């Protein structure tokens, strides 16, 4: 039964990616060997804890995680709220956002750490792109910078 669920998730993800390409969504690609940056709109997941992410791990509202369309799972990204200057480091563990004009979807904890209410303009900077074995869920206290 779980293999059927995984297959359905994969099919839904593929359809979302195809649809995004068809309607002209622009994917930003970071080079993994240098510190590139990108600006755009961030939002917070509207799903609750326990829902599986594209990486297979459950979404945790209290973890400093995010969804990005192209960055490898495990990549650490510094997200800066351009309005108030608050910074949080998040780990990419999901795909999205699939809404035109948005560059990252944040977990509720990451959104809270950035003072997010609704949509915000952010800057993204790749901290590491190893997607490494050392990647783990972290709490707000572990990864918030001021």
With cut-offs at 50, 70 and 90, classify the pLDDT of residue 33. Answer: very low
Helix (H), strand (E) at residue 122: strand 120-128
**What CATH number labels 2-145?**
2.40.40.10
**pTM greater than 0.85 (yes/no):** no
Flag whether pLDDT at 44 surpasses 80.
Answer: yes
Judge residue 105's burial from the number of C-beta atoms within 10 Å of its C-beta, 0-12 exposed, 13-18 middle, 19 or more buried: buried
Do residues 64 and 138 touch, judged by C-beta distance below 8 A?
A: yes
Query: What's the rounded mean pLDDT across residues 9-14?
Result: 68
Flag whether pLDDT at 24 surpasses 60.
Answer: no
Extract the tokens encoding 112: 């809270």
Convert the pLDDT of each residue in 57-112 to its tens digit. 998 889 999 999 999 999 999 999 999 999 999 999 999 998 988 999 999 999 99
pLDDT of amino acid 136: 42
Convert the pLDDT of each residue in 113-139 to its tens digit. 999 888 999 999 999 876 544 444 333
């Amino acid at each position: 039964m779980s293999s059927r669920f995984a297959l359905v998730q994969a099919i839904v993800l593929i359809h979302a990616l195809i649809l995004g390409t068809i309607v002209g969504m622009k994917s930003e690609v970071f080079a993994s060997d240098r510190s590139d940056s990108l600006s755009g709109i961030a939002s917070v997941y509207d799903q609750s804890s326990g829902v599986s992410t594209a990486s297979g791990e459950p979404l945790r509202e209290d973890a400093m995680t995010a969804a990005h369309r192209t960055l490898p799972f495990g990549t650490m990204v510094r997200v800066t709220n351009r309005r108030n200057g608050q910074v949080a480091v998040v780990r990419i563990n999901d795909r999205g956002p699939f809404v035109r004009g948005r560059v990252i979807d944040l977990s509720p904890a990451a959104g809270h750490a950035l003072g997010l209410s609704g949509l915000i303009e952010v800057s993204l900077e790749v901290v590491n792109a190893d997607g490494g074995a050392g990647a783990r869920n972290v709490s707000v206290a572990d990864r918030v910078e001021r």
